[in-house]
Amino acid sequence: MPSIDSKLTVSQASGPFREPREPVFSYDYSIQRSMWLTPHGVRVKVSIPDELEVLKQRLLGAVTGSPGQQLMISNILSKKIADWKMQVAEGEGMLAERRDTMLEPFVGPFMHLFPKLEASFEQERSAVRDEIRKRVGI
């Protein structure tokens, strides 16, 4: 676990990007610690069927809306999932080293991390639902 003086700072985040040949959205983060000379990159992959759709169903149920509204919901929720995955990875010490990192979906070999993602989801569930209702109108 990093010491308090080496707090992780996210200086930039971009996405979502659609990965070719994979059912995922990805986000790129630039992270920095005070003791690092340069920032490092983290690509966070959010599985559309195994993370996004599962949590979207639990958050909103069977929501209908225009294709534009569905896209906005997916963008808002997938970014939240990517942020939560960054928090989980930091808590697990996966971002402690000075190197570029890829965070795969929390399925298969990383399935043990999904309950921590769910805990973040449950903690922020009502705030995310309110944000979606306000921004999307659903």
How does pLDDT run across 78-103, given as a tens digit for each residue? 999 999 999 999 999 999 888 899 99
- Please check the confidence at residue 22 and state whether its pLDDT lies above 80: yes
Q: Tell how strand 9-18 and strand 101-103 pair up.
A: unpaired
Which H or E element spans position 88? helix 67-91
Q: Domain count of the chain?
A: 1
- Strand pairing partners for 26? 17, 45
Residue 111 token pair: 């399935």
- Tokens 């534009």 belong to 68
* Helices 53-60 and 114-136, axial angle in degrees (round to 10): 60
Do 52 and 77 touch, CB atoms closer than 8 A?
yes
Q: What is the pLDDT of residue 5?
A: 55
pTM: 0.91
Q: Which domain holds residue 9?
A: 4-136
Work out the average pLDDT over 40-64.
Answer: 92
Greatest CA separation found in the chain? 48
Q: What is the pLDDT of residue 63?
A: 73
Residue 73 DSSP class: H
- Please check the confidence at residue 2 and state whether its pLDDT lies above 60: no
* Helices 67-91 and 53-60, axial angle in degrees (round to 10): 110
Contacts of 51 (CB under 8 A, 6+ apart): 81, 105, 106, 107, 114, 117
Q: What is the pLDDT of residue 3?
A: 47
Q: How many residues does the chain have?
A: 138
